[in-house]
Amino acid sequence: MKKGLLIILSGPSGVGKGTVREELFKDETLNLAYSISMTTRKPRPNEREGKDYFFVEEDDFKDKIQKGELLEYAQFVGNYYGTPKFYVEQLLDEGKNVVLEIEVQGALQVMEKCPQALTIFLVPPSFEELERRIRGRRTETEDVVKQRLDKARKELATKDEYKYVVENDDVIKAKNRIAEIIKENV
């Protein structure tokens, strides 16, 4: 069976990666599978274990790093986030196109390890709009919001490392563009 395509969907926090990804997954012709990440961040009220993330303690996370069980990992605003390797490999072998929705440091690690990966960077229409979206979430303290905005500025500066840059001014438009890109690359 033909191996699936590894797809990195990255972009700054708040750009709408999750929303665009949800739209992409409605399109069954894309044959997508989502790589569920592991994190030490505490769940938000609407998040579920094993669906949005595997929520773990820092010791468990460090243990996975030590054992080489993560394809990539990064620290982001005080928490660890990483991609379990085993599941991604299994899905690719099954011929699925696997989506990693990850931040920039992790994306750069995967680019090194898997140069054939399809890399897509989502950008907001403007920085002001990004700030509005991050604040609109209302789940974080002002300090965390500031750290996320500061991080976002640095993340936006890495966009040229990606094969494709897609603007998310409208979720459906962004989804359609990414679907086109995936179809061109499978």
Among 4, 24, 30, 72, binds ligand 5GP (CB under 6 A): 72
Rounded Cα–Cα distance for residues 98 and 96 (Å): 6
Residue 17 touching ligand 5GP (CB under 6 A): yes
Q: To the nearest whole angstrom, how small is the minimum distance from the Cβ of residue 18 to ligand 5GP?
A: 8
Widest distance between CA atoms in the chain: 49
Among 3, 19, 27, 41, binds ligand 5GP (CB under 6 A): 41
Rounded Cα–Cα distance for residues 108 and 168 (Å): 21
- Give the tokens for residue 87: 């599941």
Q: To the nearest whole angstrom, how small is the minimum distance from the Cβ of residue 1 to ligand 5GP?
A: 26
DSSP string, 68-91: T-EEEEEEETTEEEEEEHHHHHHH
Rounded Cα–Cα distance for residues 15 and 137 (Å): 12
| Binding track over 86-115 against ligand 5GP, x by CB under 6 A | ---------------xxx-xx---------
Q: Which residue has the tokens 């990195």?
A: 8
| Binding window for ligand 5GP (CB under 6 A); candidates: 59-67, 73-81, 85-93, 160-168 | 73-81
Residues that bind ligand 5GP (CB under 6 A): 13, 17, 37, 41, 72, 74, 76, 81-83, 101-103, 105-106
